[in-house]
A and B are shown apart, each in its own frame.
Chain A
Amino acid sequence: MSKVALIFAHPRLEDSKIHKQLLQVLPKSPNLTFHDLYENYPDFVIDIDREKKILLDHDVIIWQHPVYWYSCPPLLKQWMDMVLEIGWAYGPGGNALEGKRVQSIVSTGGPEQAYQEGGNNRFPLEQYFLPFEQTARLCKMEYLPLFSIKGSHRISPEQLQEKKIEYRQCIESLLELNNTSYGK
Chain B
Amino acid sequence: MENNFLVDAVIYLAAAVVCVPVAKRLGLGSVLGYLMAGILIGPFVLGFVGQEGKDIMHFAEFGVVMMLFIVGLELEPATLWKMRTSVLGYGSLQMVGTTLCIFALMLFLDWEWPSALAVGMAFSMSSTAIVLQSLKEKNQLNLPSGTNSFSILLFQDIAVIPILAMLPLLAKDGIVDDDTHHTFLSAFPAWLQTFGVLLAVGSIIIAGRYLIVPMLRFISHTHLRELFTATALLIVIAIALLMQMVGLSPALGTFLAGVVLASSEYKHELESDLDPFKGLLLGLFFLAVGASINFNLILARPVLILLSTLIVMAIKMGVLYIVGKRLKLAKDQHWLFTFVLSQVGEFAFVLLAFMAQVRLVNSGQNDFLMAVVALSMLFTPLVLLVHERIMIPRWANRMNEEQESDVENNQHKVILIGFSHFGSTIGRFLRANNIESTILDNDSDRVLLLRKMGFKVYYGDATRIDILHAAGAETADIIVVGTGTPETNIDIVKLVLKHYPQARIMVRARNRMDAYEFMDLGILHIYRETLDAAIRVGVDVLGLMGERKYSAFRTGQKFLKYDNQSMKKLKAHRHDMNVYVNKAKEEIARQEEMLADDKDKLKGLSSDVAWDSEYMRDMILQPRTK
Residues of A within 8 A of B (CB): 10-19, 38-40, 42-43, 66-69, 75, 107-111, 114, 120-121, 152-153
Q: What's the Cα separation between A69 and B548 when bound, in Å?
A: 23
How many Å lie between the Cα of A129 and that of B613 in the bound state?
17
User: If the complex has contacts A12-B602, A15-B603, A153-B615, are A68 and B608 also in contact, measured as CB distance less than 8 A?
Assistant: yes
Residue-wise, chain B 593-613 has the 8 Å CB interface mask toward A (1 for contact) of 000000000110111111111
Cross-chain pairs A/B with CB under 8 angstroms, 13 sampled: A13-B548, A14-B547, A15-B606, A39-B548, A42-B549, A42-B550, A42-B552, A67-B608, A67-B612, A108-B609, A110-B614, A121-B613, A152-B608
Contacts of B326 in A (CB 8 A): none
With A and B bound together, what is the CA distance between A66 and B611 in angstroms? Answer: 11
Taking A11-B602, A12-B605, A108-B612 as given, write out 6 further A-B residue pairs in contact, using a Cβ cutoff of 8 Å, ordered by the A residue number: A11-B550, A15-B606, A40-B549, A42-B553, A42-B554, A153-B608
Bound together, the chains give a CA A79 to CA B613 distance in angstroms of 26
Residues of chain A with a CB closer than 8 A to B553's CB: 42-43
CA distance A32 to B470 in the complex (A): 63
Q: Does B183 contact A (CB under 8 A)?
A: no
User: Contacting A66 at CB < 8 Å: which of B552, B603, B608, B617?
Assistant: B608
Give complex CA distance A144, B548 in Å: 30
The answer to whether A120 touches B613 (Cβ under 8 A) is yes
- Which of chain B's residues have a CB closer than 8 A to the CB of A11? 550, 602, 605
The interface of chain B, by Cβ under 8 A from chain A, is 547-554, 602-603, 605-615, 617
Cα A176 to Cα B121 with chains together (Å): 91
Question: How far, in angstroms, from A73 to B552 measured CA to CA in the complex?
Answer: 18
Q: Shortest beta-carbon distance, A128 to chain B, in Å? A: 12
Contact A120 B614 (CB under 8 A): yes
Q: Which residue of A lies closest to B543 (CB)?
A: A42
Query: CB within 8 A of B609: which of A13, A42, A75, A153?
Result: A153
Determine if B609 and A152 form an interchain contact, defined as CB atoms under 8 angstroms apart. yes
- Contact indicator B611/A108 (Cβ below 8 Å): no
Known: A68-B605, A120-B617. Is A14-B611 also a contact (CB below 8 A)? Answer: no
Q: Is the CB of A110 within 8 A of B550?
A: no
Determine the distance from Cα of A40 to Cα of B549 in the docked complex, in whole angstroms: 8
Task: Specify the chain A residue showing the minimal Cβ separation from B547.
Answer: A14
- A19 and B614 CA atoms in complex are apart in Å by 20
A156 to B602, CA, bound (A): 24
Instruction: Identify A38's interface contact among B548, B610, B611, B612, CB under 8 A.
Output: B548
Q: Is the CB of A16 within 8 A of B549?
A: no
Our pick among B548, B607, B615 for the contact of A14 (Cβ within 8 Å) is: B548
Supposing A11-B602, A68-B608 touch, asked if A111 and B614 sit within 8 A by C-beta, the answer is yes
What residues of B have a CB within 8 angstroms of the CB of A109 in the complex? 607-612, 614-615
A16–B607 CB distance below 8 A: yes
Interchain residue pairs A-B with the least CB separation, the first 6: A109-B609, A66-B608, A15-B606, A109-B612, A110-B614, A42-B553
**Nearest-Cβ distance from residue A33 to partner chain B, whole angstroms:** 18
